[in-house]
Amino acid sequence: MIAFDPTPEQDALRRRIETFVMERIAPYEKDSRNTPHGPTEELRIELNGLAREAGLFAPHVPERWGGMGLDHVSMAIAFEACGLSPLGPVAMHCAAPDEGNMNLLDKVATEAQKDRWLKPLAAGAFRSCFSMTEPGGAGADPSELKTTARYDGDDFVVNGVKWLITGARGAGFTIIFCDVEATGDKPGGPTMLIAEMDAPGIALSRELDTLDSSFTNGHWEVTFDNLRVPAENVLGAVGEGFRYVQVRLAPARLTHCMRWLGGAVRAHRIALDYARRREAFGKPVGRHGEIGAMLAENEVELQQSRLMIWWACALLDKGEQGRHESSIVKTAVSEALFRIADRCVQILGGMGVTGDTVVEQIFRETRAFRIYDGPSEVHRWAISRRIMKG
């Protein structure tokens, strides 16, 4: 059976979240604590409180850990609604990288690790970060790992540099993707280690100026200098890091699509309202063919994006990995949302390049999205390799 209509429960949840985000969260977009490097920790905590009061905190988290336990299709509907404001995912505690880390920990961590890291993270007691991308190293191609870890008794000693590490400042812990050096009968290979961010050997080297500004405390370069990580903090098994990366990244590509789809919907609504009210050459600008065509293209691509996301989410809900499908959706949706945001800037004209509306920020966010979690070119390459294999 193929269905395209949300259930009454899903539709009611969408309406609740839309109302909450637009009435309670969107006004904070002009708050001084919403900085060019993202919302501050103080603002994040305040917004989390509002989401808790509304009963909309952590919709993706299993009920065991205090969340709403939504399936992937329901998440798609909820995340689109919360993405109407760049601060919506922050408020509802379903923004990257925390959302992806919670999913990874739930699927891979030991029970002891879940109690230590996942339980307080899911409750919003602290944030987390994911240390994979490197300057000149691992990124779109994670096999280019340059950060290493060597055995030293019952510990690992980590050395390397990571960058574009979202939310590193103020995070409670990080998941480090590194290459363990095999020693004797001890295995090696790509591995994930968990470390507290205030541990000796971790330094925030510099804050990066980036196009986007929606992630709490922005993006950082992080240096690991003889960081000691106990063996009990291995996430999963030594040498299995590539497998766990896919556990984390395939669903995370889709949740990025969901959230930024909400942003594109917001930008389109603003542009449409403007096109109805603004008059030029004797009529509303939306009645002119060029502007009307852009609005129509937006409407088409928004619906195409939404249905593609639902399609891939339905596969995940059936238990499939969805690696190929998530690459298809991430590529198509990220490109479509950027085109939508670009048209909205164009429709707004001079206003579109100012901070008078949130469209300018949404444009920047969607441009960065074409690179995050794998640039379109890498996904197209991966898609072509799979289809060539038949």
Q: Which two tokens stand for residue 60?
A: 């993706």
pLDDT greater than 70 at residue 130 = yes
Percent of the chain with pLDDT over 70: 99
Q: How large is the average pLDDT for residues 360-381?
A: 95
Number of DSSP helices (H) and strands (E) in the chain, helices first: 12, 12
**pLDDT value at position 3?**
76
Q: Are 97 and 249 in contact (CB under 8 A)?
A: no
Q: Which residue has the tokens 């944030």?
A: 127
Q: What distance in Å separates the CA atoms of residue 352 and residue 210, rounded to the nearest whole number?
A: 19
Q: How large is the average pLDDT for residues 268-287?
A: 96
pTM: 0.96
Q: Which two tokens stand for residue 355?
A: 């901070």
Q: What distance in Å separates the CA atoms of residue 57 and residue 76, rounded to the nearest whole number?
A: 15
Q: What distance in Å separates the CA atoms of residue 145 and residue 162, rounded to the nearest whole number?
A: 10
Strand partners, 191: 178
**pLDDT value at position 137?**
82
Q: Which two tokens stand for residue 31?
A: 């708050």
Q: How large is the average pLDDT for residues 363-370?
A: 97
pLDDT greater than 70 at residue 252 = yes
Q: How many CB atoms lie within 10 A of CB 321?
A: 13
The pLDDT tens digits of the residues spanning 46-102 come to 999 999 999 999 999 999 999 999 999 999 999 999 999 999 999 999 999 999 999
Banded pLDDT at 110 (limits 50, 70, 90): very high
**pLDDT value at position 1?**
58
Pairing of strands 173-180, 128-131: parallel
**Chain mean pLDDT for the chain:** 96
Q: Which two tokens stand for residue 7?
A: 């259930």
Banded pLDDT at 288 (limits 50, 70, 90): very high
Nearest of 128, 145, 124, 126 to residue 136 by alpha carbon: 145
Burial label for 73, CB within 10 Å (0-12, 13-18, 19+), is buried
Nearest of 17, 18, 47 to residue 31 by alpha carbon: 47
Residue-wise burial string across 20-33, b where 16 or more C-beta atoms lie within 10 A, e elsewhere: bbbebbbebbeeee
Q: What domains are defined for the chain? A: 8-95 (1.10.540.10), 128-239 (2.40.110.10), 242-389 (1.20.140.10)
Maximal C-alpha separation, the chain: 81
**pLDDT value at position 388?**
95
Q: What distance in Å separates the CA atoms of residue 369 and residue 146, rounded to the nearest whole number?
A: 25
Q: Which residue has the tokens 């966010």?
A: 365
Q: What distance in Å separates the CA atoms of residue 75 and residue 258, rounded to the nearest whole number?
A: 8
Q: Are 177 and 143 in contact (CB under 8 A)?
A: no
pLDDT greater than 90 at residue 296 = yes
The SS3 call for residue 144 is helix
Q: Which residue has the tokens 């879940």?
A: 114
Q: How large is the average pLDDT for residues 368-379?
A: 94
Banded pLDDT at 127 (limits 50, 70, 90): very high
